[in-house]
Chains A and B, each alone.
Chain A
């Protein structure tokens, strides 16, 4: 390795994951931490640690001058940003680069470009990746709207060109609908924004969220297949799988090849994820955005391919070439990850920063628990609620679900309330078992009271 001292500018389970990867590469680890995280597991596991500031993220993990000062004072020669916090800040990557330190991620310019939704869409189209079809510019007449809608194909979403935040969106299934709805949208847009201009986009009903894991070394790029992440609550993924059983092999190959094409086009370095909407009705996928960092759900891709994504991203960002060529990366079996959050699923997912009194975690082949817990640990209330991820791997999806259920039933986290009851209920659900869900599925399922006991109301909310 060309680096010897890696600074971890993150916390929680991903900090633990990065430390393990760095240790296996023989690299000294330096953990940055806030005053609220002085006793977190990553601080105990790291070779060294540096306090960044007060507990609140804005005073520590998000405070760029303090993080930069800590990196320099620790004599780090590389920085791993994890996910969240400063991981997708072009300015942070730029400052690390300017200090002559390796940033474990793509260049600041790539983060900036792919972080801009318009720029990313342009880059995707240039690489030949489908994006959600829509009008090129504003539409001012109903006839024009009908003409564009015929090209975009129904159903179409009619939005105010000047608007935002989903206000006044209408969905037309036919031209007749459109001719009725477009004038309403125009007059509403005129009233709300002083501009009656419209924008049309294909409406994808009940889409799946499918994403592709890529790795690049700045010249070459490979994929580690796709993930299915449609089970979401409030736009947060709760259950993720690799691969996506809804895809046929041809579509899977096209999808993964499209991601590699974009990664090569932008000379991507590090681990990244391209997110797509997948329309099962038409077997079409559309690029939505790229995340230029490691993701929470990366382990499912590791489980089906055997690639250690965190080690690989460190290696390629230190100037090494990709370890495996595409034909050496094969998928085997099925993997599922569920997020264990410190929330009470029976109380509207109320955060529950308790103290872990005792912990029992089953071990076994194809079972992994990425977490930052230990007995006696008081969960701090200042950060997000993710405690860890249970990941299982089995030859088939049905066996993976059965294994997941078994493992979850064997886990005991005494003193905490977690989302494990949700995952057990999902594992028992017929629609989940048959893989029949989409991004709009979980919230109505919860509202319908599928999670027993029935949610209570009252008390704090």
Chain B
């Protein structure tokens, strides 16, 4: 299992917009560079990208939760 960590402190979102589906669901294929979520930091939205390829397992941080830099946001199976 591999962790995807937050690059910055902020607020983590699972979806591109509130009305959209989450970026990834369990079992989805993930390529290196895929966006798995957004971190809002100082009113700017930053893409959280997976550095490795694998299969999406689950979000660890909740949608809309405050997160710290380095906090685990999601897990995937390499």
Taking the nearest CB of chain B, how far is it from the CB of A196, in angstroms? 32
Q: Is the CB of A382 within 8 A of B8?
A: no
The answer to whether B7 has its CB under 8 Å from any CB of chain A is yes
Give the CA-CA distance A380 to B46 in the complex, in Å. 16
| Residue B78 CB within 8 A of the other chain | no
Question: Are B46 and A56 neighbours in the complex by a CB distance under 8 Å?
Answer: no
- Residues in B whose Cβ lies below 8 Å from that of A385: 42-43
B46 touches A460 (CB 8 A): yes
Tell me the minimal C-beta distance from A354 to chain B in angstroms: 10
Give the interface SS of chain A, mostly helix, strand, loop or mixed: loop
**B41 contacts A by Cβ under 8 Å:** yes
Closest Cβ neighbor of B48 among chain A residues: A460
- Distance in angstroms from B56 CB to nearest chain A CB is 20
**Residue A342 lies at the interface, judged by CB distance under 8 Å to chain B:** yes
- Nearest Cβ distance between residue A346 and chain B, in whole angstroms? 16
Structural contact, B42 and A36, CB atoms closer than 8 A: no
Q: Give the size category of B's interface with A.
A: 10 to 19
CA distance A383 to B9 in the complex (A): 12
Q: Mark out the residues of chain A between 406 and 461 whose CB falls within 8 Å of any chain B CB in the assembled complex.
A: 460-461
- The minimal Cβ–Cβ distance linking B4 to chain A, given in whole angstroms, is 13
Return B76 CB to nearest CB of chain A, in Å: 19
B-chain residues with CB within 8 Å of residue A460 when the two chains form the complex = 7-8, 46-47, 49
In B5-29, which residues have CB < 8 Å from any A CB? 7-11
Selected from B11, B42, B47, B49, the residue in CB contact (under 8 A) with A56 is B11
In the complex, B70 has a CB within 8 A of chain A: no
- Report the bound CA distance from A380 to B11 in whole Å: 11
Return chain B residues, CB-CB under 8 Å to A350: 44, 46
Complex Cα distance, B43 from A351, in Å, reads 9
Contact of B41 among A36, A55, A381, A461 (CB under 8 A): A381
In the complex, the answer to whether B47 meets A381 with C-beta atoms within 8 Å is no
Jot down 5 A-B pairs with beta carbons below 8 A, ordered by A. A353-B10, A381-B10, A381-B42, A382-B11, A461-B46
- Measuring CB to CB, which residues of chain B are less than 8 angstroms from any residue of chain A? 7-11, 40-44, 46-47, 49, 64, 66
A381-B10, A385-B43, A460-B46 given; 13 more Cβ-contact pairs under 8 Å: A56-B66, A343-B42, A350-B44, A351-B8, A351-B42, A351-B44, A353-B9, A381-B40, A381-B41, A382-B66, A383-B43, A385-B42, A461-B46
